[in-house]
Amino acid sequence: MTALARIADLAVTYRGAPAPALSGLSLDIEAGEILAIIGESGSGKSTLARALAGLLPERTKVAGDRRWPGLDGGPRAGRDIGYVFQDPGSSLNPVLTIGEQVGEGARRHLGLGRRAAGAEAVRLLARVRLPEPERIAGAYPHQLSGGQRQRVAIAAAIAARPRLLIADEVTSALDVVVQAAIVGLLVELVRADGMTLVFVTHDLALASGIADRVAVMAAGRLVELGPADRVVAAPKAAETAALIAAHIDLATPPLVGEAS
Ligand SMILES: Nc1ncnc2c1ncn2[C@@H]1O[C@H](COP(=O)(O)OP(=O)(O)OP(=O)(O)O)[C@@H](O)[C@H]1O
């Protein structure tokens, strides 16, 4: 497998923080894989995701190496990496139509004109399985449900045809049935387009249902990395075992299986 990214000895310290949020973190992300990043709240999952995407706040101290052999050296800003946040309510602009927001990435990065970008937005809205995509393109975020807004955020994130999609706790604010549908959609999109998916979650059952590999974080460190099945069946790190023990319904079949 080719590495899309090679992270070596990454350390991240937020401005004014007494201790690093991440330290000594080394990880290869393979091109085309679904990599789940799991860990308790505060373990550094989002920090790692933001460090990958270059989305850390200004004046954050970053040490170590982030290389992108799979992206000819480095990701182009806003284009090679798509990012979907936990709360689509805050990532979508309330005063722009859905069509304008989804079309923006295509306009900017694919060089499409206004009309072509509008048509591309409708196509993307259909791709994320929103009913009546033409109507939704003319709607504003507040007119949609949380699950629909998350689909819009996914459409916007893939508009520039990124190689890497990062989904940061994208289902935490949704109910279980909508969660399963959104996760199923992500898997379908990344498999169809050959994208790489980094899926951040605190839900090990959700992660193990879709991921090729699972990375387990604890206290700003990577404590375990391996194939999803192996990590769940035979955890090596005490922190992974604790996450499994805390997850009472891990023995039940995952809501979302491999995409067919
Ligand atoms: N912008 C920030 N400024 C200062 N400290 C921060 C900032 N963002 C996160 N932190 C701290 O960095 C550590 C790791 O946070 P991070 O959000 O990466 O964890 P997480 O595993 O994603 O947690 P959660 O599941 O709750 O989102 C925590 O101690 C957190 O308080």
What domains sit in the chain, N to C, each tagged with a CATH number?
32-60+72-80+162-260 (3.40.50.300), 88-161 (no CATH)
Token look-up 């894989």 returns 33
Spatial distance between the Cα atoms of 26 and 5, rounded to a whole number of angstroms:
11
This model of the complex carries an ipTM of: 0.97
Ligand 1, atom 24, residue with closest C-alpha: 41
201 lines ligand 1 (CB under 6 A): no
Coil/strand/helix, residue 188:
helix
Among 10, 12, 14, say which to mutate for ligand 1: greatest number of ligand atoms within 8 Å of CB: 14
Question: Rounded to the nearest whole angstrom, what is the distance from the C-alpha of residue 246 to the centroid of ligand 1?
Answer: 21
Write the DSSP string, 36-94: EEEESTTSSHHHHHHHHHT-PPTT-EEEEEEEBGGGTBSPPTTTSEEEE-S-HHHHS-T
Instruction: For the chain, 260 residues long, give each residue's pLDDT as a single digit of tens.
Output: 689 999 999 999 999 999 999 999 999 999 999 999 999 999 999 999 999 999 999 999 999 999 999 888 778 877 899 999 988 777 899 999 999 999 998 899 888 999 999 999 999 999 999 999 999 999 999 999 999 999 999 999 999 999 999 999 998 888 888 888 999 999 999 999 999 999 999 888 889 899 999 999 999 999 999 999 999 999 999 999 998 888 755 445 555 554 44
Is-above-0.90 flag for pTM?
yes
Coil/strand/helix, residue 166:
strand
Give the pair of three-digit tokens for residue 29.
């992300």
Q: Which ligand 1 atom sits nearest the alpha carbon of residue 86?
A: 27
Question: Rounded to the nearest whole angstrom, what is the distance from the C-alpha of residue 146 to the centroid of ligand 1?
Answer: 24
